[in-house]
Amino acid sequence: MATKTAAKPAKKPAAAKTAKAKKAPAKRKPAARKLRPGTPGGVPSSLVPLKARIRTIPDYPKKGILFRDITTLFLDPYGFRKVVDDLVQPHAGRRIDVVAGIEARGFIIGGAVAHQLSVGFIPVRKKGKLPWETIGVDYQLEYGTDRIEIHRDAVTKGQSVLLVDDLIATGGTAIAAIQLLRQAGANLIGCSFVIDLPDLGGKKRIEDMGIPVQALVEFEGH
């Protein structure tokens, strides 16, 4: 009797050759680097000089005046930080008891400098803006006079004070602030400004009073 040969198990069909092979995921291109505001011409923010971060507005507040607008500098986080660091750096290790800032942009810069130096802050304000007893100094304007004031108890006699403002032009307001702080008993150890307009001579007038002056940038004209 013939024996039956066991049937071999059928082979599993190979994967269809027509099946499409999975494609490897495409490599993503690196995202374009976003530049911070205030980077003209696509230059990285850290390479833009402070002077280029300051906007110039012609014929403001009157015809013939070039107004140096530092609100663009305040808006730029790198620029604002650099301004504060550069104003603080020369005073590292010096005794400064308090920073005084002149109304109004001097409040912004002076407050930040005082914070970095870990000292207090004195607002030098226009007449009638402070709520308590004040002392003040009148100073000459092109037409008429003006007055700045501080609180009577803002300064302790002999305190070392650094005066800060955004700009020095003819020096009228800054010199009045120096006289006022000295009247209150302060020892003025220096004046710091972001902008100097050397053609108007204010920096030299303050230096002639025996006070060192720091300015970060200069602009010609007025």
Residue environment code for 62-77, b if the CB has 16+ CB neighbours within 10 A, otherwise e? eeeeeebebeebbebe
CB-count exposure of residue 10 (10 Å: 0-12, 13-18, 19+): exposed
From CA 123, how far away is CA 40, in angstroms rounded?
35
Rg of the Cα trace of the chain? 33
Euclidean distance between CA atoms 155 and 172, whole angstroms: 21
Q: Report the alpha-carbon distance of residue 107 to residue 88 in Å, rounded.
A: 15
Say which of 33, 133, 142, 220 is annotated catalytic: 142
Our answer to whether residue 220 is catalytic in this structure is no
Choice among 105, 147, 182, 205 that is catalytic: 105
Tokens for 124, please give them.
């030098």
Contacts (Cβ under 8 Å, ≥6 apart) of 52: 40
User: Is 68 considered catalytic here?
Assistant: no
Tokens read off for 112: 């930040």
Catalytic residues: 105, 142
